[in-house]
Amino acid sequence: MSRLKKFIRITTHIIIYSVLGAFFLIGIVRTGILVYSRPRTFFPESVPEGQVALVLGAGLNRDGSPGVVLRDRVDAAAELYFLGKVQKLLMSGDNLSRYYNEPGAMFDYALSLGIPAEDIVLDYAGSRTYDSCFRAAEIFSVKKLIVVTQAYHLPRAIFLCNAFNINAYGVPADEANYNRRGYTFWWAREIMASSVAIWDVYIAKPEPILGQPEPIFP
């Protein structure tokens, strides 16, 4: 029995120390991405000019229109366009079916804000931030962009775009009064998502849906 108790005690200690070590490592990764992104984050008026504003998808309402989070992103991108900071808007999101079309919803909303249709480019295969940044480089041949998303998401998005050799800056889109509980969850979720981003870029290197190149600026 004493041997069994000793085995249980050692096993318990290993599990506890492993969990604590994992949390410490995840925290270090998140902190590193925050530090990396800070000098690359700007307000719309002060951000360096880019070729394109990359607008990342988010949830839709039941009627297929952009949710409040997504509207904020498109609003911020439109502001960059009218400030002359970008020439085109690249709307990248999920298109699960004809009933769930993030790029299409972003396109319609951008039109309502006065963005010309010819200055909007749609990417229907941006199911993840990793995919959107990867495709911006490989499919749309973007070399410099301003990524637009909420502050909690922005550090990871900036890191991923730069990881694919895009000179990327970021502008936070946080105009709405978001649900506090939901926003806290999103911040917490990003801690783990940052570690997944590091894993994808340096170890797993998954290849998203590709296709024929469609350079925005031939």
- Comparing CA positions, the residue from 59, 21, 25 lying closest to residue 196 is 25
* Helices of type H across the chain: 2-37, 68-82, 102-112, 129-138, 154-163, 180-199
Distances in Å between the alpha carbon of 19 and those of 5, 13, 32, 192? 21, 10, 20, 14
pLDDT of residue 192: 87
| Per-residue pLDDT band at 96 (split at 50, 70, 90) | confident
Return the structure tokens found at 167. 């000179």
How much is the pLDDT for 56? 96
Q: Work out the average pLDDT over 19-29.
A: 63
**Residue 190 pLDDT > 70, yes or no?**
yes
Segment 44-76, tens digit of pLDDT = 999 999 999 999 998 899 898 999 999 999 999
User: What does residue 80 show for φ and ψ, rounded to 5 degrees?
Assistant: -60, -40
> In the predicted model, what is the mean pLDDT of residues 103-124?
97
Q: For residue 28, is pLDDT > 70? A: yes
**Mean pLDDT, the chain, whole residue set:** 88
Distance of CA 90 to CAs 27, 104, 107, 133, Å?
A: 32, 12, 10, 11
Other C-beta atoms within 10 Å of 99: how many? 8
Percentage of the chain with pLDDT > 70? Answer: 85
Q: Residue 40's pLDDT is what?
A: 96
The tokens describing 173, both together, are: 């889109």
